[in-house]
């Protein structure tokens, strides 16, 4: 080959390779977008790097999942706390749960409140029961929120062993809008926080002070999980609540409170005890009115609340 032809040939190769690279790149990005669309429009995907499923609309067959779990004759314990002015959320929470939450399964709600008389009458569906349990009032909302770990640990250890198979622990300032069923069941279940699912991990609001037991160093962490909903088998959730409560007590003894209270400790726990199943932000959206373009099927959502008005302190 003459020198000129060699140059021409090399140039041709270069253009060819660049073009195929470009085509490949645009194809993979198109393919990823296609997948994202099918999964409700976000890029979390439907499997974690440790191969735990992330539950989205489109990833499961609800009739098949129901029939598998129906055969096991399971009971799902469900805890909710309503102290002080938060009793106002109970009616919507319970009524919407009775419409959408584990319909057809055995559900036992354990409702903790400082005002049993303020609990509204809500008609329970077949095999759904509610037990009201009185707990003392507390002056700080942070203590109410964190104190749930201690109460849950005791409830599971002392009372639930022979009466339930799974447990979910839910915030009360919430409402169901769609099915929450057996697809959510697993050994240890975390719910991806609706504010952070599309953020890089270094922007997650983990506790960053090494003095706290909830500390997660920069560069670590998988997802940012919400403390407003978590669950799993009794043993696993017992270990979770016990560990978080122990870590909270150590922090209190050292006069430090993690930035997002028990949620920071829950995130630390899930970093070292990977959930066996994750629920997508469909299972805890932010106030339903806030744009939901990315998440097409909202099943459960925080409701709008005026913190200054409902909390006992700021
Ligand atoms: N809570 C309560 N009374 C209070 C403060 C909190 O019953 O005065 C309970 C309630 O179950 C609530 C949960 O603690 O859903 C967590 O608190 P909050 O919802 O205020 O936290 P956020 O979701 O805003 O972080
Ligand atoms: Mn809440």
How far are the Cα atoms of 17, 46, 189, 199, 274 from residue 53, in angstroms, in the given order?
Answer: 37, 6, 10, 20, 12
The answer to whether residue 263 is catalytic is: yes
The half-sphere exposure of 8 on its side-chain side, counting CA atoms within 13 A, is 5
> How high is the pLDDT of residue 11?
66
Atom number, ligand 1, closest to the C-alpha of residue 307: 20
> Which residue ranges have their beta carbon within 6 Å of ligand 1?
81-84, 86, 141, 144-145, 171-173, 228, 311-312
Give all strands of the β-sheet with 128-134 in edge-to-edge order. 54-55, 277-279, 188-192, 225-233, 166-170, 75-82, 106-113, 128-134
Q: Give mean pLDDT, residues 134-148.
A: 96
How far away, in angstroms, is 307 Cα from ligand 2 center? 10
Q: What percent of the chain has pLDDT over 70?
A: 86
Backbone angles phi, psi at 6, to 5 degrees: -60, -45
* 1-55 pLDDT tens trace: 556 666 766 666 666 666 665 555 555 444 444 444 444 445 689 999 999 999 9
Residue 262 above 80 pLDDT? yes
pTM score above 0.75 = yes
Residue 261 above 90 pLDDT? yes
Atom number, ligand 1, closest to the C-alpha of residue 173: 15
- Pairing of β 75-82 and β 166-170: parallel
CA nearest ligand 1 atom 16, residue: 145
Residues 229, 169 contacting (CB under 8 angstroms): yes
Q: Which of 78, 79, 80, 86 to mutate to test ligand 1, by most ligand atoms within 8 A of the CB atom?
A: 86
CA-to-CA distance for 249 and 9, rounded, in angstroms? 71
> How high is the pLDDT of residue 67?
97
SS3 185: coil
Active-site hit among 207, 257, 263, 282: 263
| Token pair of 313 as six digits | 């302190």
How far away, in angstroms, is 47 Cα from ligand 1 center? 30
SS3 237: helix
The ligand with the least distance to the CA atom of 300 is 2
- Mean pLDDT for the chain overall: 91
Return the closest-CA partner of residue 174 out of 277, 88, 237.
Answer: 88
């Amino acid at each position: 080959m003459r020198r000129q032809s060699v140059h021409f040939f090399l140039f041709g190769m270069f253009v060819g390779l660049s073009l195929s690279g470009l085509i490949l790149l645009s194809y993979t990005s198109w393919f990823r977008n296609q997948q994202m669309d099918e999964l409700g429009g976000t890029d979390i995907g439907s499997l974690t790097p440790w191969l735990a499923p992330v539950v989205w609309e489109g990833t499961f067959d609800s009739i098949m999942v129901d029939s598998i779990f129906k055969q096991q004759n399971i009971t799902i314990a469900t805890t909710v706390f309503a102290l002080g002015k938060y009793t106002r959320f109970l009616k919507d929470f319970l009524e919407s749960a009775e419409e959408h939450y584990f319909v057809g399964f055995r559900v036992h709600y354990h409702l903790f409140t400082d005002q049993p008389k303020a609990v509204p009458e809500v008609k329970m569906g077949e095999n759904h029961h509610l037990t009201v349990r009185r707990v003392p009032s507390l002056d700080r909302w942070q203590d109410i929120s964190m104190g749930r770990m201690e109460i849950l640990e005791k409830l599971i250890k002392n009372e639930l062993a022979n009466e339930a198979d799974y447990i979910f622990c839910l915030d009360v300032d919430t409402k169901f809008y769609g099915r929450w069923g057996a697809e959510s069941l697993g050994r240890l279940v975390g719910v991806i926080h609706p504010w952070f699912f599309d953020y890089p991990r270094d922007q997650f609001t983990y506790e960053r002070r090494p003095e706290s037991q909830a500390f997660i160093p920069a560069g670590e962490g998988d997802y940012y999980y919400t403390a407003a909903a978590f669950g799993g088998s009794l043993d696993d959730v017992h270990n979770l609540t016990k560990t978080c409560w122990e870590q909270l007590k150590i922090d209190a003894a050292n006069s430090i409170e993690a930035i997002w209270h028990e949620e920071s400790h829950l995130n630390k726990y899930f970093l070292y005890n990977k959930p066996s199943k994750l629920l997508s932000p469909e299972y805890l959206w932010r106030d339903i009115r806030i744009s939901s373009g990315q998440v097409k099927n909202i099943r459960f959502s925080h409701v709008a609340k005026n913190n200054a008005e409902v909390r006992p302190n700021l």
